[in-house]
Amino acid sequence: MKRYLKLVNFEVNRFFKLYLVLLGITILSQIFGLIVESQVYVNRVNKFINKDSMPNSEVIEHYGTMSFLNFSQTAWFLGPIMVSGVVLIIYVFFIWYRDWFGKNTFSYRLLMLPTARINIYLAKATTILLFVLGLVALQLLLLPVEMQILQWMVPSEFRTDLSIFAIINSNNYYDLSILFPNTFIDFVLYYAGGMAAVFIVFTVILFERSFRIKGIIYGILYCVASLLIFFAPLFVNEVLLSNYFYPMELFFLELLAGLVVVACTIWIGHFLLKNKIRV
């Protein structure tokens, strides 16, 4: 366990500077963007009231009030989330290939460390999970701060105040409900599913590193097999049994299928690291 934690710390430190940049971009973009959007709205309202002599009620009737939901659908808010997501997806691949294609082929030294190679595999996966949860936690902390800024910038009569729960669960905006699941079941589905995908990608990379061109084919076949196993309960329930299972029963069957896929994926990844990748 101690060596595993050291590997996690090592992997986190390798990406930490870029990770801080992502955090900084998210904070600056969302707060600065909220100030800009709020000021633009207030200036527009003042123009209609002062120059066009429109009463407040008519301004609201024609142009509506401003809420945080309006801002949450702008590039200021969505942009850094998408950029961070894309960077982390790229890093799922980079966290392995950097070791092989670096200047000093660091992978050979890494694989010769006096520790079980499965610790390397799990440490890289844990690092990805920590980075994802860190970005989610930052966004969760930013929401009340940004809502407070909105209240400072926009007068109450021209503002619609919404709770964080209402913003996350708005019918017009689904991304935040994925980042912040409302129930434990949703949390398990979203984040366990995401980590299962990371494990599968890791194992596909190890297939490629072990067998090169053939490994790419093996990896694709393994992805297909994993998807077939994972969606087998849904297929059986809807096609063969005509919706025989209750939703909760189907959930546990899907959970079991996911655990089988993850267990097989980690075992195969360990086997490849231990027996097929030579140093």
CA distance 235 to 242: 10
H-helix or E-strand spanning residue 160: strand 159-160
- Provide the number of structural domains found in the chain: 1
The domain of 187 spans 181-279
Single pTM value for the model: 0.86
Residue 212 lies in a domain: yes
Residue 53 lies in a domain: no
Residue 8 lies in a domain: no
Residue 276 lies in a domain: yes
Residues of the chain with pLDDT under 70: 51-53, 102-107, 170-175, 278-279
The confidence score (pLDDT) of residue 264 equals 94
Residue 228 lies in a domain: yes
The confidence score (pLDDT) of residue 68 equals 87
The confidence score (pLDDT) of residue 101 equals 75
Residue 225 lies in a domain: yes
Residue 222 lies in a domain: yes
Ordered DSSP codes for 168-231: HT-TT--HHHHHS-SSHHHHIIIIIHHHHHHHHHHHHHHHHHHHTHHHHHHHHHHHHHHHHHHH
Nearest to 46 by CA among 126, 155, 137, 139: 155
Classify burial at 191, counting beta carbons within 10 Å of its beta carbon; exposed 0-12, middle 13-18, buried 19 or more: middle
Residue 91 lies in a domain: no
